[in-house]
């Protein structure tokens, strides 16, 4: 909690005061004023963004996923309601969208704050009067948290690299297809994201208790369930690709990319089942405090395998946009296999240590 408070201040203050120059330097152009009016509100409300994420993680780690979900749903629904009111009715424009986000997150934060600090009906309770700084605890937090943060950054960097490759073989329409199509893919793999949250918690429980057999079985079981779910989603996505593409391109200005978007959706859906191997193995490493393992595997996938195969198929083999989509599929599949194999080997080594300890203990 203290680390979250410190980091929110460190991020918010410089971003708030230098928002306009930051947006101008990264090429906002004529939209600098709009970006600044939106960004300043968001930066000022950073605490309401940081706190719900930390509190949500605490509730999930206790197994209280229902309250965590309800709090986040409340914030999302409130955001949807406030957006048109603040943007149009109160004529606040783009700043209204930012205020809607901050207010909705503030309500979520207040609800979680009440649970954690006033009602105290959670396993974890807070008493800052007894707080003592311990470097080891801070080190443990950063050992998992820092690699996870860099993982998210690597995903953003991968999208930037992919945009460069797309522009090399196509135009802005190709970028539009990729942007919209990846949004569809994100929705499709949402079930795996939910299961991965459970895997982090269960892995932490099993590893902390020294129950490596349970660690292994929960990893395999979660992977099987996610694989089956994503296989079904991939099949439905492939069949319904024209209808899905139409929903995202029904406006006249976007209708000309519908055909290319159908191709993207039908190619990309082939790696959905394999996402379960990579994402859940990454979650396992995070749960047992091996965040660096997850980071290395993610960097291999996002910054090496995917861009390399995309460039190979699109540029060197001359398959164009379709080659980029196939490169994304192949890169993700190989990356998922690598981290899954790494996770299984690590679990096997833990099981061997457990077996050797059991044999040596009677002596």
Instruction: Return d(Cα 285, Cα 226) in angstroms, integer.
Output: 17
243 occurs within a structural domain: yes
Range of the domain at 74: 2-131
Q: Is the pLDDT of residue 28 over 90?
A: no
The reply to whether 222 and 264 lie within a common domain is: yes
Residue keyed to tokens 């980071």: 295
Burial letters for 214-235: b for 16+ Cβ neighbours within 10 Å, e otherwise? ebbebbeebbeebbebbeebbe
CB 267 within 8 A of CB 322: yes
Conformation bin of residue 211: beta by default, left when phi > 0, alpha when psi is -120 to 50: beta
For the ranges 102-106, 140-144, 204-208, 254-258, the maximum mean pLDDT occurs at 102-106
Instruction: Flag the least confident range among 31-35, 94-98, 113-117.
Output: 31-35
Taking the C-alpha atoms of 281, 283, 285 and 289 in order, what is their torsion angle to the nearest 10 degrees?
-170
For the residues of 199-226, what is the DSSP string, one character each? HHHHHHHHHHTT-HHHHHHHHHHHHHHH
Instruction: Return d(Cα 347, Cα 143) in angstroms, integer.
Output: 19
C-alpha distance from residue 329 to each of 51, 305, 336 (Å): 36, 10, 11
The reply to whether 335 and 193 lie within a common domain is: yes
C-alpha distance from residue 312 to each of 164, 169, 266, 271, 328 (Å): 14, 12, 20, 18, 11
Taking the C-alpha atoms of 221, 226, 228 and 230 in order, what is their torsion angle to the nearest 10 degrees?
-170
The reply to whether 90 and 169 lie within a common domain is: no
The reply to whether 172 and 276 lie within a common domain is: yes
Predicted pLDDT of residue 216: 94
Total domains present in the chain: 2
The reply to whether 110 and 175 lie within a common domain is: no
Residue ending a domain, among 73, 102, 131, is: 131
Helical H segments across the chain, by residue range: 2-17, 19-25, 32-44, 46-61, 65-84, 93-113, 135-169, 172-188, 190-208, 212-239, 241-248, 258-268, 272-287, 291-299, 306-311, 320-360
Q: Is the pLDDT of residue 254 over 80?
A: no
Q: Is the pLDDT of residue 251 over 90?
A: no
CB 114 within 8 A of CB 55: no
Q: Is the pLDDT of residue 362 over 60?
A: no
SS3 344: helix
Predicted pLDDT of residue 360: 60
Conformation bin of residue 362: beta by default, left when phi > 0, alpha when psi is -120 to 50: alpha
177 occurs within a structural domain: yes
148 occurs within a structural domain: yes
329 occurs within a structural domain: yes
Q: What is the mean pLDDT of residues 211-220?
A: 93
The reply to whether 110 and 237 lie within a common domain is: no
Q: What is the mean pLDDT of residues 32-43?
A: 92
Q: What is the pLDDT of residues 261-307, one digit of tens each?
A: 999 999 999 999 999 999 999 999 988 988 888 888 888 888 899 99
Instruction: Return d(Cα 153, Cα 145) in angstroms, integer.
Output: 13
SS3 124: coil
pLDDT band at 327 (very low <50, low <70, confident <90, very high): very high
The reply to whether 173 and 60 lie within a common domain is: no
The reply to whether 251 and 356 lie within a common domain is: yes
> What are the structure tokens assigned to 293, written together?
């393992």
136 occurs within a structural domain: no
The reply to whether 48 and 168 lie within a common domain is: no
Predicted pLDDT of residue 126: 82
The reply to whether 125 and 147 lie within a common domain is: no
Q: What is the mean pLDDT of residues 243-252?
A: 85
Q: What is the mean pLDDT of residues 120-148?
A: 82
315 occurs within a structural domain: yes
Instruction: Return d(Cα 252, Cα 120) in angstroms, integer.
Output: 53
The reply to whether 313 and 183 lie within a common domain is: yes
Predicted pLDDT of residue 329: 95
Q: What is the mean pLDDT of residues 330-342?
A: 94
Q: What is the pTM of this model?
A: 0.75
For the residues of 223-261, what is the DSSP string, one character each? HHHHHHHHHHHHHHHHHTHHHHHHHHS-STTTGGGHHHH
Q: What is the mean pLDDT of residues 180-198?
A: 90
Instruction: Return d(Cα 243, Cα 196) in angstroms, integer.
Output: 29
Residue ending a domain, among 101, 131, 161, is: 131
The reply to whether 230 and 183 lie within a common domain is: yes
Q: What is the mean pLDDT of residues 54-70?
A: 86
Mean of per-residue pLDDT scores for the chain: 89
For the residues of 34-67, what is the DSSP string, one character each? HHHHHHHHHHHTHHHHHHHHHHHHHHHHTT-HHH
> What is the distance, to the nearest Å, from the Cα of residue 24 to the centroid of all Cα atoms in its chain?
27
Instruction: Flag the least confident range among 31-35, 249-253, 332-336.
Output: 249-253
138 occurs within a structural domain: no
Predicted pLDDT of residue 172: 74
137 occurs within a structural domain: no
Residue ending a domain, among 110, 131, 152, is: 131
| Percent of the residues in the chain that have a pLDDT greater than 70, as a whole number | 97
């Amino acid at each position: 909690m203290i680390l979250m408070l410190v980091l929110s201040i460190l991020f918010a203050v410089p971003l708030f005061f230098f928002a306009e120059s930051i947006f101008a330097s990264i090429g906002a152009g004529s939209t600098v004023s709009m970006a600044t009016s939106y960004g300043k509100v968001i930066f000022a409300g950073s605490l309401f963004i940081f706190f719900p994420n930390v509190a949500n993680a605490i509730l999930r780690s206790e197994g209280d996923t229902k309250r965590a979900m309800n709090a986040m749903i409340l914030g999302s629904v409130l955001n949807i309601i406030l957006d048109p009111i603040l943007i149009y009715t109160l004529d606040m424009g783009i700043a209204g969208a930012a205020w809607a986000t901050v207010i909705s997150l503030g309500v979520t934060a207040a609800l979680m704050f009440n649970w954690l600090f006033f009602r105290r009906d959670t396993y974890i309770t807070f008493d800052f009067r007894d707080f003592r700084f311990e470097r080891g605890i801070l080190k443990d937090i950063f050992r998992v948290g820092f690699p996870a943060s860099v993982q998210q950054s690597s995903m953003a960097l991968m999208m930037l690299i992919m945009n460069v490759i797309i522009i090399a073989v196509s135009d802005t329409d190709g970028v539009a297809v990729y942007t919209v199509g990846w949004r569809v893919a994100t929705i499709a793999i949402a079930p795996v994201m939910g299961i991965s949250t459970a895997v982090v918690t269960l892995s932490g429980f099993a590893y902390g208790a020294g129950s490596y057999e349970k660690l292994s079985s929960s990893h395999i079981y979660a992977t099987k369930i996610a694989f089956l779910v994503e296989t079904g989603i991939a099949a439905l996505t492939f069949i319904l690709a024209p209808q899905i593409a139409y929903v995202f391109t029904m406006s006249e200005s976007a209708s000309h990319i519908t055909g290319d978007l159908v191709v993207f959706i039908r190619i990309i859906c082939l790696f959905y089942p394999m996402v379960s191997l990579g994402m859940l193995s990454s979650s396992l490493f995070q749960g047992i405090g091996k965040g660096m393992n997850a980071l290395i595997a993610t960097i291999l996938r996002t910054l090496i395998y995917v861009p390399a195969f995309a460039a190979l198929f699109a540029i060197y083999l001359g398959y164009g946009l379709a080659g980029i989509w196939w490169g994304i599929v192949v890169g993700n599949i190989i990356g998922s296999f690598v981290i899954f194999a790494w996770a299984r080997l690590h679990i096997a080594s833990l099981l061997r240590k457990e077996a050797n300890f059991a044999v040596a203990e009677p002596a």
